[in-house]
Amino acid sequence: MKGLDFFFRPKSVAVIGASRDREKIGYCVLREMKKRYKGRVYPINPRARSIMGLKCYSSVKDLGDLDLAVITVPCRVVPLVLRECVEKGIEAVVIITSGYSETGKEGRDREEELKRIIRGSRTRVIGVNCLGIYDAYSGVDTLFLPESKFRRPGRGGISFITQSGAFGSTILDLMSFEGIGISKFVSYGNQTDVKENELLEYLDRDRKTRVIVAYIEGISDGRRFMGVAGKAVKNTPVVIFKAGKTEMGSRAASSHTGSLAGSYRIYEAAFKQTGVLEAQSVEEMFDFAKVLEFLKPPKGDRIAVVTNGGGFGVIISDAVIRNGLKLADFSGESRRRLRGILPGYANIHNPLDLIGDADKERYEKALNVLIKDPNVDGVIAIPLLQTFSLEPGVIDVIAGIKKKTGKPIIACATGGGYIRRHLARLEGKGVPAYISPERAVRAMKALVYYGRVKDS
Ligand code: COA
């Protein structure tokens, strides 16, 4: 193992400050780690003999080799236990503890002391003032969030790094609710040692990560970020949600994680220059991540729209144009074939209205024509599932078509519980699906944009 691997794939983990008290963070971290992580777990607490049936040790020095230590003791004790980690040669340490540069001068001095302790050693630190790591594959889980309140997402291809633990954890919760899988989650707090740039580099090389999503308030080293992000995007799409855009927001960021948010204009320009996709909202963050995880970018920006609900065709067309994409001009051959599929009174143009009595067979035939059309780069399908004639089997039809084409297919359906269940089914089959036409189009735009970034 090398680099940051010890954080994500350790063979053994110590929880320093594992508590006997169910109400304390050190108890929760130990409990959650024990649940999914299959390696050896050691509680460290000089005042306890055993916790949760595990023998307790007074110090990491009493143990054999250790790959990862999670620190949950107060900041006055952290230097002592961190020194022990360094002396023992532990390569990865997560420090959950708060009370550092985010609190002002004294806290900054405390954080400087920690930097001095690890300087020149093998020990790397994630934190301080963070939630740490959740790795859905290895089961490493340093989050002090009880599972009864917070379900962890399943395995997937999105890795998510966040400066804010609070924001990050709620997003994880949302991901699990929406059935979006994750590879690695890192809440890195004050970035005392390991910084976002290094995490980006690591995740770009990680084979289980297909998309990197980042919530940032401020970037530690702008110049390095330009190099790292610019290189990463050629291989792995990077979606960033930047907070602290206004003066007041930026001030809040400095007392949150001690970071200097700086002028938003500079960030905006840097994201454009490097090819990072900037999400303007929480929704967009995962709308973009989903589409980038599931689909390959199209070769161009000519979009075919197909629906059995005429009004949605109009709405999507507006959104396509407003977002700078083009409505594909179907080829003569496609028009001829579509004419043979659709009722005589149907108009053959883009958006293609399959008419209110369309069934899944009509969808299948039409989609088969559209994906073969040389004038079409991508398809947005809007099945109006509420109609009496459209069977839920259309979900399998769309998923089947997606499998046999290299062109991206995005689905959109608006409605209540019935619709959401089917959208979830579509996503389970690898088709990104959106509840509103605008979100579907913006996702397609992100995919088109990423295609250009990759080819540039
Ligand atoms: N080695 C190991 N364990 C030690 C120790 C040592 N040298 N010295 C003390 N401990 C034990 C304590 O005895 C205690 O266990 P016990 O409850 O069984 O007695 C345990 O470590 C925790 O210490 P305690 O003093 O009770 O601390 P705490 O739980 O009240 O607070 C933090 C510790 C880290 C949770 C707290 O300082 C903190 O930073 N909270 C905020 C965390 C946060 O919000 N982070 C950012 C998230 S985004």
Hey, what domains does the chain have and what are their CATH numbers? Answer: 1-130 (3.40.50.720), 150-294 (3.40.50.261), 296-455 (3.40.50.261)
Give the residue, by CA position, lying nearest to ligand 1 atom 17: 19
Distance 337 CA to ligand 1 centre (A): 70
Q: Which ligand 1 atom is nearest residue 144's CA?
A: 47
380, burial (CB in 10 Å: exposed 0-12, middle 13-18, buried 19+): buried
Chain centroid, CA 369 distance in Å: 34
Residue nearest to atom 12 of ligand 1 (CA): 17
Over its length of 456 residues, how does the chain's per-residue pLDDT go in tens digits? Answer: 777 999 999 999 999 999 999 999 999 999 999 999 999 999 999 999 999 999 999 999 999 999 999 999 999 999 999 999 999 999 999 999 999 999 999 999 999 999 999 999 999 999 999 999 999 999 999 999 998 899 999 999 999 999 999 999 999 999 999 889 999 999 999 999 999 999 999 999 999 999 999 999 888 899 999 999 999 999 999 999 999 887 777 667 666 666 555 688 889 999 999 999 999 999 999 999 999 999 999 999 999 999 999 899 999 999 999 999 999 999 999 999 999 999 988 889 999 999 999 999 999 999 999 999 999 999 999 999 999 899 999 999 999 999 999 999 999 999 999 999 999 999 999 999 999 999 999 999 999 999 999 988
Question: How far is residue 128's CA from residue 431's CA, in Å, rounded to a whole number?
Answer: 38
* 406 secondary structure, DSSP code: S
Ligand 1 centroid distance, CA of 305 (Å):
56
Atom of ligand 1 nearest to the CA of 98: 39
393 to 273, 381, 437: CA distances (angstroms): 43, 14, 21
CB-count burial class (<10 Å; 0-12, 13-18, 19+) for 294 = buried
* Closest ligand 1 atom to 164 CA: 48
Minimal-distance CA residue to ligand 1 atom 15? 19
Type of residue at 446: A
Choose one of 15, 25, 134 to mutate for the ligand 1 pocket test, by most ligand atoms within 8 angstroms of C-beta.
25
pTM confidence score: 0.94
Spell out which residues line ligand 1, taking CB within 6 angstroms: 16-17, 19-21, 24-26, 44-48, 72-74, 77, 80-81, 96-99, 129-131, 165, 187
Q: Which atom of ligand 1 is nearest to the CA of 72?
A: 34
